[in-house]
């Protein structure tokens, strides 16, 4: 079938005539089912924690920086990394990590050479947004937000502000001119299975994902 016949067949199926302009779009942007709260406007922090845990990650909400810092210190003491990679610049300044990381081997994206991140064992990042319905982190690449920080280490620690949690994916996606060059969606640790259905953890990314939410769960 030639191109003209193929397109004519599609027009016929759509009930349109040759040369007819396309119909008006009824909706622009994410549809309601991709933005509406999956729990009727309830506690998105609690839902995010529950959904991320369900897919193999760990998550907890902390009411203030002191308790969040203690949780981060516990993770770092347990893993005892030889090198920690983290986002650079002022991307994580709200979390005031200087004292927590004092004396630990840290490299910062955008401030240290890229090669320095090839052997990091823990990566500490923020996020662009988080999706409560699926327990998903949405991460954007930028000058101080390198992909290697959350893709290369065996442990990924994400610091999330309560205000960054959205109900569904459609509400979390950037719009207009603010769309970054790359977006990554992280729903729990990396996992894969081969043709024999043998499941392996951490093959294509971190085998452990820990999310520390700065904010309160309701109830």
- Locus of tokens 């909400």: 61
% the chain with pLDDT above 90: 61
* Per-residue pLDDT tens over the stretch 54-108: 999 999 999 999 999 999 999 999 999 999 999 999 999 999 999 999 999 999 9
- Locus of tokens 């065996």: 154
Residue 32 has a pLDDT of 64
The total number of residues written for the chain in this structure: 219
Is residue 121 predicted with pLDDT exceeding 90? yes
Structure token pair of residue 142: 């930028």
Bigger pLDDT: 30 or 5? 5
- What domains appear along the chain, each with residue ranges and CATH number? 39-214 (3.40.50.10420)
Report the pLDDT averaged over residues 122-142. Answer: 95
Report the pLDDT averaged over residues 45-49. Answer: 94
Phi, psi (degrees; rounded to nearest 5) at 69: -60, -40
Bigger pLDDT: 1 or 162? 162
Out of 9-13, 36-40, 93-97, give the one with best mean pLDDT: 93-97
Q: Which three-class secondary structure string do you get for the chain?
A: CCHHHHHHHHHHHHCCCCCCCCCCCCCCCCCHHHCCCCCCCCCHHHHHHHHHHHCCCEEEEECCHHHHHHHHHHHHHHHCCCCEEECCCCCCHHHCCHHHHCCCCEEEECCECHHHHCCCCEEEECCCEEECCCCEEEEECECCECCHHHHCCCEEEEEEEHHHEECCHHHHCCCHHHCCCCEEEECCCCEEECCCCCEEECCCCCCEEEEEEECCCCC
Is residue 4 predicted with pLDDT exceeding 90? no
pTM of the model: 0.80
Q: What is the mean pLDDT of the chain?
A: 87
Q: Which of 80-103 are b and which e, b meaning 16 or more Cβ less than 10 Å from the residue's Cβ?
A: ebebbbbbbeebbeebebeebbee
Report the pLDDT averaged over residues 15-35. Answer: 70
Rounded Cα gap, residues 209 and 133, in angstroms: 17
Q: Which residues pair with 10 in a beta bridge?
A: none
Residue 72 has a pLDDT of 98
Residue 170 has a pLDDT of 82
Residue 181 has a pLDDT of 77
Band the pLDDT of 19: cuts 50, 70, 90. confident
């Amino acid at each position: 079938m030639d191109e003209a016949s193929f397109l004519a067949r599609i027009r016929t199926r759509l009930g349109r005539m040759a040369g007819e302009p396309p119909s008006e779009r009824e909706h622009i942007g994410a549809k309601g089912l991709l933005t509406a709260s999956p729990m009727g406007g309830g506690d998105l922090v609690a839902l995010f924690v529950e959904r991320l845990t369900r897919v193999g990650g760990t998550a907890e909400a902390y009411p203030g920086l002191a308790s969040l810092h203690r949780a981060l210190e516990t993770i770092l003491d347990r893993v005892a990394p030889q090198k920690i990679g983290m986002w650079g610049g002022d991307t994580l300044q709200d979390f005031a990590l200087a004292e927590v990381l004092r004396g630990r081997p840290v490299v910062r994206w955008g401030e240290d050479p890229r090669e320095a991140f090839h052997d990091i064992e823990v990566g500490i990042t923020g996020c662009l947004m988080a999706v409560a319905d699926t327990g998903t982190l949405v991460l954007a690449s930028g000058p101080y937000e390198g992909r290697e920080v959350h893709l290369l280490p065996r442990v990924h620690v994400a610091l999330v502000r309560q205000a960054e949690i959205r109900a569904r994916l459609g509400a979390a996606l950037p719009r207009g001119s603010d769309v970054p060059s790359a977006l990554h969606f992280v729903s729990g640790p990396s996992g894969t299975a081969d043709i024999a259905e043998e499941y392996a953890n951490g093959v294509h990314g971190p085998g452990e994902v820990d999310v520390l939410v700065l904010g309160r769960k309701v109830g």
